[in-house]
Structure 1
Amino acid sequence: MSPTGRPEKRRAIERAARKVFGRDGYTRASVDAIAAEAQVSKRTIYNHFTDKEQLFLSVALDGAQEVTDAIARQMELHLRKIVDLEEDLVAFSRDRVATVTQFPDHFALVRALEAEVTRIPPPVLEKWLAAGPQSAHLRLAPYLRGLADRGLLAIDDAEQAAQHLNLLTVTSVLQRTFYGSIPMPAEEADEIITSGVRAFLRLYAPTGQRSGLVDRQ
Structure 2
Amino acid sequence: MFGRVGFTAAGIEAIAAEAEVSTRTVYNHFAGKEELFAAVIEDSSTRVADVLADLTQRHLGPVADPHRLEAALLALATAWSRPRAEFADHFAVVRRMRAEAAHLPRGLLQAWDRSGPQRTQRELARQLRRLADLGVLEVEDAAPAADRFLLLTSGAVSERSHHGAAPLSAPARAALITAGVRASLHGYSRTAGC
Give the alignment's TM-score, normalised by structure 2.
0.93
C-alpha displacement at 1:47, in angstroms?
Answer: 1.3
Gaps of 5+ in 2: none
Correspondence for 1:10: none
**Secondary structure at 1:151's aligned position in 2?**
coil
**Secondary structure at 2:82's aligned position in 1?**
helix
Q: Deviations over 1:131-156 (max 9, x none)?
A: 23255322210100001111110011
Q: Is the 8 A contact 1:101 1:180 kept in 2?
A: no
1:81 matches 2:62: yes
Q: Deviations over 1:141-178 (max 9, x none)?
A: 01000011111100111001101100110111011112
Which structure exhibits the higher relative contact order, with contacts defined as CA atoms closer than 8 Å and separated by 6 or more residues?
A: 2
Higher radius of gyration, 1 or 2? 1
Percent identical: 41
Structure 1 counterpart of 2:193, one-letter code: S
Runs of 4+ in structure 1 over 6 Å off: none
Which has the higher mean CA deviation after the structures are superposed, 47-56 or 77-86? 77-86
Which has the higher mean CA deviation after the structures are superposed, 149-158 or 99-108? 99-108
Correspondence for 1:202: 186
Q: Is the 8 A contact 1:168 1:196 kept in 2?
A: yes
Structure 1 counterpart of 2:175, one-letter code: E
Output aligned runs, 1:97-136, within 5 Å: 97-98=81-82, 100-133=84-117, 136=120
Q: Is the 8 A contact 2:56 2:123 kept in 1?
A: no
Which has the higher mean CA deviation after the structures are superposed, 127-136 or 184-193? 127-136
Give the alignment's TM-score, normalised by structure 1.
0.83
Aligned length: 191
Correspondence for 1:211: 193
Q: Is the 8 A contact 1:100 1:180 kept in 2?
A: no
Query: Residues of 1 paired with 2:170 and 2:142: CA distance?
Result: 29
Gaps of 5+ in 1: 1-19, 213-217
1:50 matches 2:70: no
Residue 72 of structure 1, aligned match among 53, 68, 73: 53
Structure 1 counterpart of 2:90, one-letter code: H
Correspondence for 2:14: 33
Output aligned runs, 1:91-102, within 5 Å: 91-98=75-82, 100-102=84-86
C-alpha displacement at 1:91, in angstroms?
Answer: 0.7
Correspondence for 1:5: none
Query: Residues of 2 paired with 1:62 and 1:149: CA distance?
Result: 34
Structure 2 counterpart of 1:47, one-letter code: N
